[in-house]
Each structure stands twice: as C-alpha cells, then as structure tokens.
Amino acid sequence: MFERLPGFRDFYPDACAARNFVFRVWRQSARKFGFSEYDCPVLESLDLFREKSGNEIVEQLFAFTDKGGREVALRPEMTPSLARLVGARANSLKRPIKWFSIGEQFRYEKPQQGRLRSHYQLNADIFGEAGAAADAELMALCLDCMTSLGLGHGDIVLRLSDRKLWMLFLETQGLAGPMGEEILQVVDKVERRKREQSLARLESLVGLAAEPLLTDIEALAGIRKFDELTGFLSRKTSDSRLQASLEERFMEWADILETLRCMGWEDFLRIDLGIVRGLAYYTGFVYEVFPRQGEMRSLAAGGRYDGLIEKLGYAPMPAAGFGMGDVTLTILLEQMQLFPRLIEKPDLYGIFGGLKERAEAHTDIAALRKAGLAVEYPLRQVGFGRQFRLASASGARFALIYGSEEVGQGQVRLKDLLSGEELLVARQNLTDVVLRGMESGSLSGSA
C-alpha cells in the first residue's frame, strides 16, 4: 500500500467538482476583463528560478537533475515562465498583453493549514503598460474573482502597498540601493517577528540608526489614510528632487485609489505599507488579499515587476500581475458555506425489461448522448424495482423505460421523475421530445 506524499492532495470527485467550480469562476472573471488564457510546462530549467524568484522560493524548489544531465525544477510559481514566454515573442505580441493561466505550482514548504507543497494558482498579468491603470485593472480582476465566488468586503481585504514609496522613503534616510532591499526584507517580516529580532537585524545593517528607522517603519506600516501617508513622507525630506519624486508617486496613488473607488472596490481596500512581498522582482505597487477573520495565509498576492523580463535577457518591458491560490480560498469558501451543490446528475436514466430491450435501447442512448444529453443506466441487468430505485438515486430528471411491450411497438416510456408524469414516445422522435422536455421543464406538451 502507498500513502500520498505530505503536502499533496487527492481530488476525489466531490473535491474535484469544488476545484473545477473555482476554476470556472476564475476563468469567467478573467474573460470578463479581456484576458487570454495561456499555459506552459510545469518543469523548467532550474536557472529560470534561481535569482528570479527570490531566496525563499529557491530554497523551496523541487529540483533534480534529469537523465540528460539538465538541472530542472518543478515551477514554484508561474511568473518566471510567463516572463520567458512573453520575452521570447515580445516583438510580435499586441500590447498591452493581458494573459491568465490556471496551473499547479510546487513548493517544498512545511505543510500546514493553508500551506501545501502543491497548489493551484490563477495568474493574471499585464505586460507592456507601465501606468497605474494596469495595476488598478489587475486589482479589480483579483477582487472580481473573489466576489464572483460570493465573498464580500466584510470577508476579505486587499492590503495595498508600494515598494517604490518604500524605496523613496529609504532614500530620504540615505538608505537607497542594495541596502534598501535588505531593509525591505526586514519590513516584510516585521509583522511576524518580535520587535527585538527586527531591531537586531536592522542594527546589523544600519547600526545606531536602527531604532529611529524601526519606529518610522512601524509608523508607516500603521498608516491607513492617504493624506496621512503623503504627510508623513513629505515631512521626511527637504531635498527638492526627492520631493518631486514623492509628489509624482502620490499622483499615481491618487489615480489608483480613485479608479478603484469609481469601480466600487473602495470598501475592499486598505492602505497598508506593512506589505512589501518576499519575492525579489517586485518594483512598484504590491498587494495581498486576506480574509478579514483569522490568521490565514493570503488568498492572493501580486504587484508590479518592471525589471523581470530584462533580467531574463530580453528587451525591457513593464509588467504587473497577481497569483491567487486555491488552498486558502477553498478553506474560506467552505467555512462560509459558499460552495453551491456540485453533484453532477444525469439528465436521463435507462431502465430495461431484459437483455433484448437493453440492446435496443443502446441505439437511442447513443443518439441522446450525441445530442449532448447525459444518460446513465445500470451496467448489470437487475429487476425493474431495483432499476427504478437506482434511477431516482441518480438524481436524473427523466427515466427511459424499455419494457418488452413498448419496444415491441417501437416505443419507449418517458417518465418525469419529479412530477411522476409519463409519456409514450415513438423511438424515432425520442431525442426531440426529450430535448423539448428538458427545455420546458415538463413533459406536457413536449410529445
């Protein structure tokens, strides 16, 4: 006997139906926003993820050497592969490039609630558009996916932050460049770590400036109002170049906030500079969506990553996007009982008097299935009573009854299992009668 590997899931039919329901809603949302679906291999060369995804993810790679001696890895995320696809055809693709995919991702994490070693992600990304309108459109799509599943602003919150603003703030403190990146790694963990730990890490980076820096970081991360954010940062510098850069960035913030407000997403938004994202490639607006209740990992996360395509060796191109996982989302939807009844039922169930009638019925069943109807029947010949019980247990709307008498007259008895109504139908008209009955929801008048 074999056990499933830790951190992986089996999808028995009910779980598979739930997963497909989520995928269906994701696809519908992506299409509403004009995104085209793409796909690519789950196995990539290891180098694609080294440096491109950031240290944390690289440590979690499922990597091995293949039989041809290549170093390969199962993808931990979609973004580097997507950048490879777009970069390779950059000249021939019509811009803006708006693409989405739904695919499995693999990370060797410690399995725990909401965090597994394999998960599915919706990825939606826009390439070739540097303006804030693209960021706003992506956030709107991200939220549309969730509200289409039944979640409201009382259930989830999008925490909006900005790496560019963080970098400008660090510049006001004389801490730009690689040092700034190191400090952002500390900011990323401030929420989860004890204060002394963050302080010790900052001291190793900036020495005595650590305490006031941490106080500023905490203040910035605590700001929830746009005018407080602009006020706080404007007070940090008297350098006119920096002030101009800040002003320019505030305009982009105002643009995003106003666009999302007009779209009706204001109540889902929270200004929250406590988010900086662990992944190495983000350069601008970043965000994560969380359930408002509980301590769950994020439902979705993303941001702008204008440097990644160039980092892969292609011509530079602005890019932004997000990933939405199925694990935390499914837990939340289950908790909130938002999954509809997902049992798949046949349209019709065949009931046969004997082997002769069963053989006759096969011709009709094949024709019904060809017409797109779902038909089931017992694979073994059993008594009439048992077959009726099977028919009603299947949840089918209609039973098709092939008794010797009916078949002898070229007919079949069609029974509405909801109303009990019955109709004798000439077999050559069966498909038409059933289709009419399905459409009108009753047999009366469908003969």
Give the shortest CB-272-to-ligand HAM separation in angstroms: 15
d(CA 382, CA 94) in angstroms, rounded, equals: 61
Give the shortest CB-390-to-ligand HAM separation in angstroms: 40
For residues 5 and 393, which CB has a smaller minimum distance to ligand HAM in the complex?
5
For residues 158 and 246, which CB has a smaller minimum distance to ligand HAM in the complex?
158
Long-range contacts, 172-175 (Cβ 8 Å, 24+): 172/233, 172/236, 172/237, 172/239, 172/242, 173/209, 173/213, 173/216, 173/236, 175/206, 175/213
First to last CA, the chain: 55
E strand or H helix that includes residue 127: strand 118-127
Whether 158 contacts 142, CB under 8 Å: yes
Structure token digits, residue 296: 């769950």
Give the shortest CB-113-to-ligand HAM separation in angstroms: 10
E strand or H helix that includes residue 286: strand 285-291
For residues 116 and 151, which CB has a smaller minimum distance to ligand HAM in the complex?
116
Give the shortest CB-303-to-ligand HAM separation in angstroms: 6
d(CA 102, CA 120) in angstroms, rounded, equals: 7
Give the shortest CB-320-to-ligand HAM separation in angstroms: 7
Give the shortest CB-333-to-ligand HAM separation in angstroms: 13
Closest C-alpha among 42, 295, 117, 102 to residue 192:
295
d(CA 287, CA 281) in angstroms, rounded, equals: 14
Give the shortest CB-166-to-ligand HAM separation in angstroms: 17
Q: Which residue's Cβ has the minimum distance to ligand HAM? A: 325
d(CA 393, CA 231) in angstroms, rounded, equals: 66
Give the shortest CB-100-to-ligand HAM separation in angstroms: 10
Q: Which positions lie near ligand HAM, rule CB under 6 A?
A: 77-79, 107, 109, 115-116, 119, 121, 123, 125, 279, 297-302, 321-323, 325, 327-328
Residues 6 or more apart whose Cβ sits within 8 Å of residue 36: 98, 99, 100
For residues 331 and 417, which CB has a smaller minimum distance to ligand HAM in the complex?
331
For residues 98 and 236, which CB has a smaller minimum distance to ligand HAM in the complex?
98
Most distant CA pair in the chain, distance: 98
Alpha helices in 191-277 (DSSP H): 195-206, 210-222, 226-234, 240-262
For residues 19 and 369, which CB has a smaller minimum distance to ligand HAM in the complex?
19
Structure token digits, residue 105: 């991702």
Give the shortest CB-70-to-ligand HAM separation in angstroms: 23
E strand or H helix that includes residue 266: none
The number of helix segments (H) and strand segments (E) in the chain equals 17, 16
Give the shortest CB-289-to-ligand HAM separation in angstroms: 7
d(CA 273, CA 165) in angstroms, rounded, equals: 9
For residues 4 and 225, which CB has a smaller minimum distance to ligand HAM in the complex?
4
Give the shortest CB-209-to-ligand HAM separation in angstroms: 30
d(CA 138, CA 140) in angstroms, rounded, equals: 5
For residues 107 and 201, which CB has a smaller minimum distance to ligand HAM in the complex?
107
* Residue 209 buriedness (CB in 10 A; 0-12 / 13-18 / 19+): middle
For residues 281 and 402, which CB has a smaller minimum distance to ligand HAM in the complex?
281
For residues 257 and 308, which CB has a smaller minimum distance to ligand HAM in the complex?
308
For residues 99 and 402, which CB has a smaller minimum distance to ligand HAM in the complex?
99
